[in-house]
Amino acid sequence: MKRAVILIFLIVSCILGLMAQEPNVNENGLGTFKGGVRIQKAQKLYWENGFAFDYSSPKLLDSRIHLGASYCTTRLGSAIASNAIKQDHYLLSAAYHFRPKKQLQPFVRLNSGYFHADLESPIFDVLPNNAFLASIDAGLCYEFKFPLTLTLSTGYNLNVGTGVRGPGTLYPVFYQMSIFYTIF
């Protein structure tokens, strides 16, 4: 878990370092960096909430490519005040936006990362509870005239678990909504 947090911190640091090297991209000399909340729902399972970051730049295919990092967990969702399994998703993503200059932008996104389910009791130690993630999602992004952006998408985890081979709580279909505030 600590490794995944360190990995996300390093990726965000690298993105910030890249932004500092881009002159005349916007009024601050940087690309667009957004931070916000992510709400995710596995179909027929848990609500998972967390935070997300998004970076784009005209130097990345004229702002069509968006790089991102996110963390979502049931600890901030279904597992609050319940006995739901505590699970964490650490994701890095690359998205392609089809209409980057418009307010409504369809997109596709590839995600990669790490999944961990805390099964708590030692009797479950024989069950798999970790997995590397690979998923794809597609949806719509709406950029408001004020510094907020809303994304809605449906995705599919490519490596799901059965409980014997891979975590049993890693379901294939998920839905997500992110609300971003443009930091710069």
**What is the enclosing helix (H) or strand (E) of 3?**
helix 2-20
C-alpha 91/C-alpha 155 separation (Å) is 13
Identity of residue 30: L
pTM of the model: 0.81
- DSSP state, residue 124: G
The tens-digit pLDDT sequence of the chain (184 residues) is: 555 556 556 565 655 555 444 443 455 557 899 999 999 999 988 999 999 999 999 988 989 999 999 999 999 999 988 888 899 999 999 999 999 999 999 999 999 999 998 888 887 777 788 889 999 999 999 999 999 999 999 999 988 766 667 787 888 999 999 999 999 8
- pLDDT for 11: 60
- pLDDT for 4: 54
Residue 94 tokens read as: 């690359």
